[in-house]
């Protein structure tokens, strides 16, 4: 590639990264709701970011820029790649979670053999259990592993037996309801010694 191509792609990647980072900050820190349309737009921007990062060649910068600039570009490119990895999983999980609710609440959970112990642990009713299951399966650490299964659930082509196996694995990753009831650190210490 050429120096011009590398510089242009770096500038475009940097602009996309900044825009997505600002939107991510608004979503996480300010609690702004994000629509499915917004998620699709963000996923498309991430594809663009990935494409531009791919065409940033550090070797093209040598001789034309100082070592300090080259190190900064290398560091920033690595940072953008790490953020891209995180954002792709987060936004994909959010998109799949919104689609998954009908399938889980109407088809799979009502027919699942959920032990009473699980209901008590995860909120006392099927609605809370379903929310926690959806949160676990679409979590950024799990979403890529279960993406095909989630799509099959959405289509209704997954058997109840397969769903029960996935539930059995994921129930260990679900957050119990009682962890959210503590009002302070002192209450937690009293409860757990």
Closest by CA position to 95, among listed 45, 151, 30, 145: 151
Per residue in 96-110, pLDDT (tens digit) is: 888 898 899 999 998
Would you call 52 helix, strand, or coil by DSSP? helix
At 158 the three-state DSSP class reads coil
> Looking at per-residue confidence, does 91 or 47 come out higher?
47
Residues 6 or more apart in contact with residue 160 via CB below 8 angstroms: 108, 111, 112
Q: Please name the residue that has the structure tokens 């070592």.
A: 67
pLDDT given for residue 118 in this prediction: 85
Of 1, 42, 40, the C-alpha closest to 10 is 1
Rg (C-alpha) for the chain, rounded Å, is: 22
Enumerate the H helices of 103-142 as residue ranges.
Answer: 109-111, 116-121, 126-137
pLDDT attached to residue 189: 58
pLDDT recorded at residue 178: 64
Please determine, for residue 193, whether its predicted confidence score (pLDDT) is greater than 70: no
pLDDT of residue 75: 95
The tens digit of pLDDT for each residue in 117-167 reads 888 888 888 888 899 999 999 998 899 899 999 999 999 999 999 999 999
pLDDT at 125: 85
Span 22-81, pLDDT tens digits:
888 887 776 666 788 888 999 999 999 999 999 999 988 888 999 999 999 999 999 999
Answer whether 121's CB lies under 8 Å from 176's CB: yes
For residue 146, count CB atoms less than 10 angstroms from its CB and return exposed for 0-12, middle for 13-18, buried for 19 or more.
buried
Res 188 pLDDT > 80:
no
Query: How far is the C-alpha of 34 from the C-alpha of 32, rounded, in Å?
Result: 6
Question: pLDDT band for position 184 (50/70/90)?
Answer: low
What confidence score (pLDDT) does residue 119 get? 84
Q: Does the structure show a pLDDT above 70 at 173?
A: yes
| Residue 114 in this model has a pLDDT that exceeds 90 | no
Query: What pLDDT score was predicted for residue 31?
Result: 65
Residue 113 has a pLDDT of: 83
């Amino acid at each position: 590639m050429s120096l011009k191509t590398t510089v242009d792609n770096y500038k475009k990647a940097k602009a996309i990264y900044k825009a997505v980072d600002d939107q991510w900050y608004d979503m996480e820190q300010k609690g702004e709701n994000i629509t499915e349309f917004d998620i699709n737009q963000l996923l498309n921007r991430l594809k663009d970011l990935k494409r531009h990062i791919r065409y940033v060649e550090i070797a093209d910068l040598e001789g034309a820029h100082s070592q300090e600039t080259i190190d900064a570009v290398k560091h920033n490119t690595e940072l953008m790649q790490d953020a891209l990895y995180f954002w792709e999983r987060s936004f994909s999980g959010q998109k799949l979670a919104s689609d998954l609710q009908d399938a889980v609440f109407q088809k799979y959970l009502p027919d699942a053999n959920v032990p009473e112990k699980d209901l008590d642990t995860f909120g006392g009713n099927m609605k809370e259990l379903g929310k926690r299951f959806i949160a676990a399966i679409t979590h950024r650490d799990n979403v890529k592993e279960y993406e095909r299964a989630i799509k099959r659930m959405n289509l209704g082509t997954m058997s109840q037996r397969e769903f029960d196996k996935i539930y059995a694995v994921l129930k260990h990753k679900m957050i119990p309801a009682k962890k959210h009831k503590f009002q302070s650190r002192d209450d937690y210490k009293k409860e757990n010694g």
